[in-house]
Amino acid sequence: MVKIIPTVEKMQEHAESLRGDGWRIACVPTMGFLHDGHLSLMRIAKRRADVLVVSVFVNPAQFGPEEDFETYPRNLERDLELCAKEDVDIVFTPKTGALYSDDYQSYVKLEHLPHHLCGLSRPVFFTGVATVVCKLFNIVRPHIAVFGEKDYQQLLVIRRMVQDLNFNTEIIGAPIVREKDGLAMSSRNAYLTPDQRPAALTLYRSLVQARKRVETGERDAARILKEVRDLITAQPETDIDYLSICDPETLIDVERIDRPALMALAVKVGKTRLIDNTILPVSSPGSRSV
């Protein structure tokens, strides 16, 4: 049976007790409205630890003033049912005021990684992410934590924070989970109307096309990005935030793909902002695509 812990103090007390008894703790931080992508993280975490803690907290610090904090989809009852089916041991459900008091003033800010990709149009996002993950790690005290590779830049930011601040927590990246038509699973997919679905699928189709172009010998990043831009903008209601082919570690754009590169993109379909990515491998023709 899932144990629900709503307060910081009780979660810290329980985590200390578990550690004292020699139990290995895994943490999967989420903002709730769970889907199969989240569940895949839980399954990975469950295999690597004795106790699995899933946090459900919509973090206000990572939303800008014009973003969807108030309307972000929430369904705690359903989340708890899904956690029970996955044999989650603890669901940590803090209130906003428990993590951010009225006079809160301490934030975790990285110097370089946030200044690419999503960070260019969402300047507060990664400070909010790093801060809340730092707080969750101090509360839950996990030995490992699992994050999805769909949020690739977020994964890099968290790994860097853990390294720089000397957290004794192993960060595990988990593969992107896709719906049957290829769309990367996201809580925000619930915003899409049926008529917007074809436009949303251009993100996945763009990644497939880009991989095929690299596999057949194309090395000019600008040429691939132009083809992708043409593919996406041919669909109605699309507004490209960014398209990038970059170094997988630094996120600095590359002009020539002479080693594996990250292709990442963010596109608004209607009012719904979607992201996706893949690694473009420099390999021989006939390699498997995404």
Active-site annotation, residues: 38
How far apart, in Å, are the Cα atoms of 287 and each of 131, 151, 225, 282?
40, 24, 21, 10
Residue 117 phi, psi dihedral angles, 5° rounding: 45, -120
Structure tokens, 277: 């990515």
Query: Distance (Å, rounded) from C-alpha 167 to C-alpha 162?
Result: 5
Q: Is 40 left (phi over 0), alpha (psi -120 to 50) or beta?
A: alpha
- Residues paired with residue 274 on neighbouring β-strands, in sequence order: 267
CB 57 within 8 A of CB 74: no
Contacts of 94 (CB under 8 A, 6+ apart): 6, 7, 8, 11, 55, 57
In order, the DSSP letters of 213-237 are HHHTT--BHHHHHHHHHHHHHTSTT
CB 287 within 8 A of CB 212: no
